[in-house]
């Protein structure tokens, strides 16, 4: 499920920040930290996708971890984006694994330096041909794909992540000098709902760092530790 209510996160953050009179985070600070936290989590999705890409595994062999990651990236992820002419990657996107149909089988391609591929092309490997393929980067958003039988110009696809979560905003009106939530002027988080605890912890950490409030930062660390201990029980 995607989308996390911004007021739910705001109230949780304020409750934890005020625990044992730890302090108050202004709406302006919250909005700043909330957007940074959401972006950090989204960038972690991208980093994890790249880590799986470097392992050279097919998505069907990666297990639950990659399936969860794909689920969290679903609004922005295309699993089989066309690589035009086997060369041009989708523009304005960040790309994960590269695939090609080799002898009727969808293969995950290995990335190799251009010089190494040139050497392979002159070897017995290239002359004999086989059912694997490799690629090298050939400029911005461009690749070349080679198999044992020559260069591939069709049947090449890739994982493509386009866009990012929208801006978060806790809107409010002032009532008796107190900011009160205004849902009509607010926008919610767009990342996966399972990441709400991580959002809260990151916002608290950002608030603790920016205000140099060691007590608030320690509170966030303690919440992280308690959350990790709970996860380890299962």
pLDDT in tens, the chain (234 residues): 789 999 999 999 998 888 756 678 999 999 999 999 999 999 999 988 877 765 554 444 456 788 888 899 999 999 889 999 989 999 878 888 899 988 888 888 888 888 888 887 777 766 555 557 889 988 888 999 988 778 889 999 999 999 999 999 999 999 999 999 999 999 999 999 999 999 999 999 898 865 556 666 666 666 655 654 554 454
Q: Are 71 and 49 in contact (CB under 8 A)?
A: no
- In a domain? residue 110: yes
CA distances from 110 to 25, 57, 116, 143, 160 (A): 48, 9, 12, 12, 17
Domain boundary among 102, 135, 161: 161
Q: How many domains does the chain have?
A: 2
Is residue 149 located within the same domain as residue 171? no
**In terms of residue numbers, what domain contains 174?**
2-44+164-232
Q: Are 177 and 132 in contact (CB under 8 A)?
A: no
Is residue 106 located within the same domain as residue 177? no
Is residue 86 located within the same domain as residue 115? yes
What tokens were used for 94?
A: 């960040």
CA distances from 158 to 22, 60, 77, 94 (A): 48, 15, 10, 10
* Residues 6+ positions from 193 with CB-CB distance below 8 Å: 1, 2, 3, 4
Is residue 172 located within the same domain as residue 228? yes
Cα(234)–Cα(230) distance, integer angstroms = 7
Is residue 182 located within the same domain as residue 110? no
Is residue 168 located within the same domain as residue 155? no
């Amino acid at each position: 499920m995607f989308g996390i209510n911004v007021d739910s996160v705001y109230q949780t953050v304020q409750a934890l920040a005020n625990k044992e009179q730890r302090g108050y985070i202004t709406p302006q600070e919250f909005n700043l930290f909330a957007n940074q936290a959401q972006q950090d989590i989204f960038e972690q999705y991208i980093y994890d996708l790249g880590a799986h890409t470097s392992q050279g595994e097919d998505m069907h062999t990666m297990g639950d971890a990659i399936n969860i990651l794909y689920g969290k990236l679903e609004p922005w992820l295309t699993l089989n984006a066309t690589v035009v002419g086997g060369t041009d990657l989708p523009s304005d996107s960040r790309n994960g694994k590269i695939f090609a149909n080799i002898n009727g089988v969808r293969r995950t391609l290995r990335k190799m330096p251009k010089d190494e591929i040139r050497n392979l092309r002159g070897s017995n490997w290239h002359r004999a041909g086989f059912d694997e393929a490799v690629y090298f980067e050939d400029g911005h958003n461009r690749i070349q794909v080679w198999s044992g039988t020559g260069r591939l110009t069709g049947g090449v696809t890739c994982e493509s992540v386009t866009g990012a979560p929208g801006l978060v905003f806790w809107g409010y009106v002032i009532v008796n000098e107190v900011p009160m939530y205004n849902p009509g002027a607010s926008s919610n988080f767009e990342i996966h709902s399972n990441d709400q605890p991580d959002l809260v912890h990151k916002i608290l950490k950002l608030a603790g760092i920016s205000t140099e409030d060691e007590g608030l930062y320690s509170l966030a660390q303690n919440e992280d530790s308690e959350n990790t201990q709970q996860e380890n029980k299962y």
